[in-house]
Structure 1
């Protein structure tokens, strides 16, 4: 059986983006956190930074670190590439030569620090 190396490398790169080991926690679900504008203000100090509800996820890359992404509701399966929320996520996308393909994004000028913190907690849960 002959293995096509380029196909294998592409699969590995995409898998590194999407294959996070899901860990269930009462606050974090299975490898993601659901966010919604109506509930954001109760637990966060910054305004809701996204244009719609969705999920904040994590992808851990060996060389680039923990990437945090936002995927809107309806665009959360593995065929979609979310909006990167930190440098590691942007670098993962750049290295993989893919682009985000979700229609909803970040509101202009918003503080993403709390959203990134949520994503990094997801990473911590997955690693634990």
Structure 2
């Protein structure tokens, strides 16, 4: 097997490994999925729930479970606190005394069930 293929396989296994930082023990981050209003109807039954394109991401913490967030396109991952899409995400932010710092991007009265499902599938 070529060395580059072995390197890629090893990297992909470590990409979803628990964090080694004790303050974030047993944290798993799965990444995100880009979403856009023009492409949403192709894979989903509910109307696009956000006011802009962006990314749905998930984080797993044993204390709260799988947290799902939305971040509008163009916001830095390092300093952005996304909009929580499920109860676990909202509870985690509340516990840590954090509030989202990205523009509110959920349409009024939007059905978030499919957006949350997209995020949960990332952490499976």
- Report what 1:36 is aligned to: 36
- Report what 1:27 is aligned to: none
CA contact (8 A) 1:51 1:107 kept: yes
The 2-side partners of 1:111 and 1:76 are apart by 26
The 2-side partners of 1:32 and 1:84 are apart by 14
Provide the secondary structure at the position in 2 that maps to 1:41.
Answer: helix
For the structure 1 residues 122 and 60, does the alpha-carbon distance in structure 2 shift closer, same or farther, using more than 3 Å as the test?
same
Q: How many pairs are equivalent?
A: 101
Give structure 1 stretches of 5+ with no counterpart: 1-10, 23-30
- Report what 1:83 is aligned to: 83
- TM-score by length of structure 2 reads 0.76
- Report what 1:12 is aligned to: 23
- TM-score by length of structure 1 reads 0.74
Q: Give every structure 1 segment of 4 or more consecutive aligned residues whose post-TM-superposition deviation is greater than 2 Å.
A: none
Matched, 1:115 2:115: yes
1:104 CA displacement? 3.7
The 2-side partners of 1:84 and 1:12 are apart by 21
C-alpha RMSD of the superposition: 1.6
CA contact (8 A) 1:57 1:70 kept: yes
1:96 CA displacement? 1.1
- From the CA coordinates, give the structure whose radius of gyration is larger: 2
Provide the secondary structure at the position in 1 that maps to 2:108.
Answer: coil
- Report what 2:65 is aligned to: 65
- Report what 1:5 is aligned to: none
For each residue in 1:40-85, what CA deviation from the matched residue of structure 2 results, as whole angstroms up to 9, or x when unmatched? 0111000000010000000111111000000000114121000000
Provide the secondary structure at the position in 2 that maps to 1:59.
Answer: strand
CA contact (8 A) 1:82 1:100 kept: yes
1:12 CA displacement? 3.1
